[in-house]
């Protein structure tokens, strides 16, 4: 394979020119496992690890490679290994808050052109979850596409498409069935050579089945969904970059039962443009959309123009982002202190020498 097949373009070429004199080569991260990386290059796959200098200078998770990254490497082809010295600037990055109590970023995929937001047309169908995915997709810098899988299991596909219109707000929506082989050809246009598509969705949404269909081989393990609640088991256990033989690149990701926001405040207005446009018509500038008179939001809900559940989702996401911002401020202050402590320590050791 060549670099263009892997997604290399003029943007990365311009960034790489700054490093050509240093003798580095480039590769793309295809898989990460416990700080070891599978790297795709023009001369085959290599097993890589970050250099001591890169590890020393890294402050947060964002400073380490993630699946989809283009990295600067010193290859040792005879050993099948490489040392990673740096990461080329990303043009897109999909992140979420890592699971648990700590406020830490988990990078799901980088340098993605299109995000397939996969939701099954069975009991897994959830408009509020789709809203959340859309919010984070817009923040990532990639273009979202809603893919509704398992249309063969749904008796009212048209009704589901109607329900999703106010949520999608111009985002392409495709209903597909791998079993019946319907709608799949609509997705081919997103997988032209050099284009990267990441599949995101909950367990059992059909991401791995769809990935297998798009690449033409049974590469990803597929589990049956549980009877009774249509919930899936975790099929894909890691993020992996897969080159499609007919063109394009797919990044399949593990199912996400929980998707906590990470730095998505700027995209709230984009995802909920309908609500924020209505709010501009409220009589009071500081209207809380509760008991105030002449509230455009309350009137729109009463008139059936705005779904009350969608408005509640908007308010919930606002509160979640505000809470995350407060925690991030404290984390940023702590990281800044630790950064200066590290620099001070380095200077002290250098002076002693």
Secondary structure in 3-state letters for 316-352:
HHHHHHHHHHHHHHHHHHHHHHHHHHHHHHHHHHHHH
3-class SS at 277?
helix
Q: Tell whether 59 and 189 lie within a shared domain.
A: no
92 a known binding residue?
no
Residues 6+ apart with CB under 8 A from 176: 147, 148, 149, 151, 182, 183, 184, 186, 187, 210
Of residues 22, 5, 4, the one with CA closest to residue 13: 4
When pLDDT is averaged across residues 155-162 and rounded to a whole number, the result is 93
pLDDT value at residue 124: 80
290 is in an annotated binding site: no
Pair (114, 194) in one structural domain: yes
Interval 68-76 mean pLDDT? 97
Q: Are residues 57 and 138 both part of a single domain?
A: no
Evaluated on CA atoms 280, 286, 291, 292, the torsion sign reads negative
150 marked among binding-site residues:
yes
State yes or no: 205 annotated in a binding site. Answer: yes
Asked if residue 242 is part of any domain, the answer here is yes
202 is in an annotated binding site: yes
Instruction: Give a yes or no: residue 348 inside a domain.
Output: no
pLDDT value for 265: 55
pLDDT band per the 50, 70, 90 thresholds, residue 236: very low
- Note the pLDDT of residue 46: 97
On whether 207 is known to bind a ligand per the annotation, the reply is: yes
Find out whether 183 and 206 touch, Cβ atoms under 8 Å: no
Q: Report the length, in residues, of the chain.
A: 353
The answer to whether 206 is a known ligand-binding residue is: yes
**DSSP letter, residue 182:** B
Known binding residue 216? Answer is no
Answer with the residue of higher pLDDT: 348 or 156.
156
345 appears as a binding residue in the annotation: no
Neighbours of 254 (CB within 10 A): 17
Per-chain mean pLDDT for the chain? 83
Q: In this structure, are 19 and 82 located in the same domain?
A: yes
Q: Indicate the range of 17-31, 179-193, 201-215 predicted with least confidence.
A: 201-215
Considering the domain architecture, whether residues 223 and 116 belong to the same structural domain is answered as yes
**Is 346 labelled as part of a ligand binding site?**
no
* Dihedral-angle region of residue 163 (phi above 0 means left; psi in -120 to 50 means alpha; beta otherwise): alpha
Assess whether 239 and 290 both reside in one domain: no
Domain count, the chain: 3
Strands 70-76 and 25-33: antiparallel
Residues 37 and 73 in one domain: yes
- Quote the crossing angle between the two packed helices 308-352 and 127-140, to the nearest 10°: 40
Domain contains 349: no
Q: Is residue 346 part of a domain?
A: no
Residue ranges of E strands in the chain: 25-33, 36-41, 44-50, 70-76, 81-87, 93-97, 105-110, 114-120, 143-149, 173-175, 196-201, 240-243, 249-252
289 assigned to a ligand binding site: yes
What is the pTM assigned to this prediction? 0.76
Answer with the one of 87, 116, 142 that is the final residue of a domain: 87
154 is in an annotated binding site: no
Residue 208 in marked binding region: yes
Q: Is 351 annotated as a binding residue?
A: no
Residues 117 and 34 in one domain: no
Domain membership of residue 40 as a residue range: 10-87
| Cβ contact 16:88 at 8 Å | yes
Q: Of the spans 67-71, 218-222, 284-288, which averages the highest pLDDT?
A: 67-71
Are residues 108 and 184 located together in one domain of the fold?
Answer: yes
Q: What's the rounded mean pLDDT across residues 306-318?
A: 84
Flag whether 141 is marked binding.
Answer: no
């Amino acid at each position: 394979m060549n670099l263009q097949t892997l997604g290399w373009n003029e943007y990365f070429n311009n960034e790489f020119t700054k490093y050509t004199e240093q003798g580095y080569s480039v590769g793309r991260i295809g898989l990460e496992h416990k700080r070891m990386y599978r790297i795709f290059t023009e001369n085959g796959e290599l097993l890589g690890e970050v250099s001591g200098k890169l590890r020393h200078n890294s402050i947060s998770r964002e400073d380490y490679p993630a699946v989809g990254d283009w990295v600067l490497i010193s290859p040792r082809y005879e050993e099948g290994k490489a040392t990673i010295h740096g990461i080329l600037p990303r043009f897109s990055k999909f992140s979420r808050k890592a699971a648990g109590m700590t406020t830490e970023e988990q990078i799901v995929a980088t340098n993605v052109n299109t995000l397939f937001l996969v939701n099954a047309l069975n009991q897994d169908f959830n408009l509020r979850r789709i809203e959340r995915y859309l919010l984070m997709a817009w923040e990532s810098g990639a273009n979202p596409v809603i893919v509704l899988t398992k249309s063969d299991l749904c008796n009212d596909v048209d009704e589901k498409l109607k329900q999703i219109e106010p949520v999608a707000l111009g985002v392409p929506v495709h209903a597909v069935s791998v079993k019946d082989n319907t709608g799949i050809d609509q997705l081919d246009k997103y997988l032209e050579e050099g284009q990267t598509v990441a599949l995101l969705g909950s367990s059992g949404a059909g991401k791995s089945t769809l990935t297998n269909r798009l690449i033409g081989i049974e590469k990803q393990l597929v589990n049956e969904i549980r009877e009774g609640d249509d919930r899936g088991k975790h099929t894909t256990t890691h993020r992996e970059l897969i080159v499609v033989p007919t063109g394009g690149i797919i990044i399949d990701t593990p199912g996400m039962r929980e998707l906590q926001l990470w730095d998505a405040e700027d995209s709230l207005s984009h995802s909920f443009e309908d609500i924020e446009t209505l709010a501009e018509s409220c009589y009071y500038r500081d209207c809380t959309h509760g008991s105030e008179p002449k509230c455009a939001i309350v009137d729109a809900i009463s008139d059936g123009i705005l779904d009350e559940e969608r408005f509640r989702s908007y308010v919930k996401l606002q509160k979640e982002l505000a809470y995350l911002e407060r925690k991030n401020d404290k984390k940023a202050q702590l990281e800044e202190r630790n950064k200066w402590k590290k620099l001070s320590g380095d200077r002290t050791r250098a002076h002693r020498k």
